[in-house]
Structure 1
Amino acid sequence: MACHTPFTLAACAEMLFRDRPVIERVRRLDALGFQVEIWDWTKHDIQALASTGATFSSMTGYVSGTLADKEGADELVRTARDSVEVAKQLGIPRLNLHGTGLDGQGLPVKPGAEMTGPMWIRAHDTLHRLADLAQENEVTFVLENLNTAIDHPGVPFARAVDVLELVASVDRPQVRIMLDLYHAQIGEGNLVELVRRCASYIGEVQVADVPGRCEPGTGEIHYPAIARTLHEIGYRGTVGLEAWASGDDELALTRFREAFTL
């Protein structure tokens, strides 16, 4: 039986081929058969990105703001509206969210690791507002889990179980989970069961190995088992490599593809 991947594979242009300009990275990923993820759209030439003809999988869906207080939520929705317009220019279907804006070091602009009841209510309401915006524009917002032990200390609503609870409480197809398994392994572990628990709400899956945040096969996560579990739950969507290359970039992409080939 011929092996194949049942998933759409994407890779992050912010983290691979870093010796090249971004436009060249995008073209190379596209030529290798991958969809392309970008982060902060304000740092890119949107027309140049569009001219590559690449298929883009996701990008950051806001510029500033936070989910869980009124002023921050208003700012988040305002900048999300601007982000949607850029996403439409690039044909990007998924816009990524976090519990709060992150600075250049990945630290929360407004820390809030301890979530109060009012914060949960405000976050829930903010996601409903974003769902309305997404419905108007035929896109999906995806709320990403993060780890607070290494990369993003102090980020509110960081754990995958909290993201799942929020997304499930909104329960609208325009708001899904960006299930980042690198962050989940550091923060929670038990990834196979986590994938199963999140099955109904996954918008996209992101991967990197632990430790090091490099491609599958360089650390402790057995990604072929993750791939089988995703297949078993009926997931046929996008799996994105959001990882540094441990050495050669093309070899990292080959290892990624092999890990998600069944």
Structure 2
Amino acid sequence: MKRTDFIKNSGLILSSLLLSSRRASAENWEVLDNKPFKLDYAPHQGMFSASAGKNFLDQIKYMYDLGFRSIEDNGMPGRSVEEQIKIGELLAKLGMRMGVFVVPKGGNGQNTLAANKKEHIEIFLNGCRQSVEVAKRVNAKWVTVVPGDYARHLPLGVQTANVVEALKRGAEIFEPHGITMVLEPLSDTPDLFLRYTDQAYEICKAVDSPSCKILYDVYHQQKNEGNIINNLELCWSEIAYIQVGDNPGRKEPFTGEINYKNVFKWLYNKGYKGIVGMEHGMSQSGVEGEKLLVAAYREADNF
């Protein structure tokens, strides 16, 4: 099947292929050229290792050839300084953007900002300082922060105030460098303090800094609250970054219940120029799975 014919196929036909004849169809799809997508989707390491090999730099070049113009790498701070520099230089050469990476010790079950413990806050602030140096090497503008678990011995309002005060100190570190920490409400466990979009909105309004905004992960929020487009609209002024993954399964579009073509169309019409992080796995492995992944994004982006 020629790529031009593929793009012209109706959404209904391709959706049916994706849902019911995925393996049989994938082997006939060509790798698309480097025409950029309407939105700026960002793959991560390993998504194209079957085609591009294990070297992350080679994978980034291959992502560019497929039409992607950004990447994500949650574990970037764990890479060597040398590798970070090489990644940053390659991205600059290709004109690609660096998406989010996770602030080291940015908040987890053992390090919760809600408890207002000095040692936890210092771990978080040191992670912010470290993140500034990493961001300089790869020209990153966004870093992910999760405030950690509930401190259930404290009233909810007190916990919220503790989180706000800690994040204000983090924002002071990032502001001079034009870096935004994006707070991610998650669905992984009910022990997590930050779970809902309106909750993150309230916190960002209280921090009142351009360096503290929301990372809206559609997969997590479909699980936690649903009503995706309406909640995006309600909290839009504080949303700086989008991540996606279908539900259930956390795989590429057309594998679950989320109408990603409508979500992407809404983002596009809203004028969103940020990154859409492909924070998910793949329904099939190998080269066929990689072709299927690209085809799914081409169709979801075909609105």
Coarse TM-score class (shorter-chain normalised): 0.7 to 0.9
Deviation for aligned residue 1:261:
3.7
Change (3 A) 1:254 1:171: farther
List per-residue Cα deviations over 1:182-209 (Å, max 9, x = no partner).
Answer: 0000111011101111211111100000
Deviates more, 1:61-70 or 1:125-134: 61-70
Aligned to 1:154: 191
Deviates more, 1:229-238 or 1:198-207: 229-238
Tell me the distance in 2 between the aligned counterparts of 1:95 and 1:115. 28
- Say if 1:40 and 1:63, in contact at 8 Å, map to a contact too: no
Asked if 1:28 is matched to 2:65, the reply is no
Deviation for aligned residue 1:223:
0.7
Deviates more, 1:130-139 or 1:114-123: 114-123
Tell me the distance in 1 between the aligned counterparts of 2:42 and 2:159. 33
Tell me the distance in 1 between the aligned counterparts of 2:176 and 2:199. 26
List per-residue Cα deviations over 1:81-110 (Å, max 9, x = no partner).
Answer: 11111111111110011122xxxxxxxxx5
Aligned to 2:83: 48
Aligned to 1:9: 41
Tell me the distance in 2 between the aligned counterparts of 1:50 and 1:32. 23
- When the two structures are superposed, what TM-score results if normalisation uses the length of structure 2? 0.74
- Say if 1:37 and 1:59, in contact at 8 Å, map to a contact too: yes
Aligned counterpart in structure 1 of residue 112 of structure 2, from 61, 66, 70: 66
Q: Secondary structure at the match of 1:177?
A: strand
Change (3 A) 1:115 1:161: farther
Tell me the distance in 2 between the aligned counterparts of 1:46 and 1:218. 37
Q: Secondary structure at the match of 2:235?
A: helix
Tell me the distance in 1 between the aligned counterparts of 2:205 and 2:79. 33
Matches within 5 A, 1:1-262: 5-13=37-45, 16-17=47-48, 20-21=53-54, 23=56, 24-34=58-68, 35-52=70-87, 53-54=90-91, 55-64=97-106, 65-68=111-114, 69-71=116-118, 72-100=120-148, 110=149, 112=151, 116-147=156-187, 151-247=188-284, 248-262=289-303
Deviation for aligned residue 1:218:
0.7
Tell me the distance in 2 between the aligned counterparts of 1:62 and 1:160. 23
- Say if 1:70 and 1:122, in contact at 8 Å, map to a contact too: no
Q: What amino acid is the match of 2:235?
A: C
Change (3 A) 1:25 1:43: farther
Deviation for aligned residue 1:155:
1.1
In the alignment of these two chains, the number of paired residues is 248
Greater helix percent: which structure? 2
Deviation for aligned residue 1:46:
3.8
Deviates more, 1:55-64 or 1:192-201: 55-64
Larger radius of gyration: 2
Tell me the distance in 1 between the aligned counterparts of 2:37 and 2:86. 28
- Point out where structure 1 has 5 or more consecutive residues left out of the alignment: 101-109
Percentage identity across aligned positions?
A: 27
Deviation for aligned residue 1:32:
2.6
- Say if 1:12 and 1:243, in contact at 8 Å, map to a contact too: no
- Say if 1:195 and 1:230, in contact at 8 Å, map to a contact too: no
Tell me the distance in 1 between the aligned counterparts of 2:298 and 2:210. 28
Aligned to 2:31: none
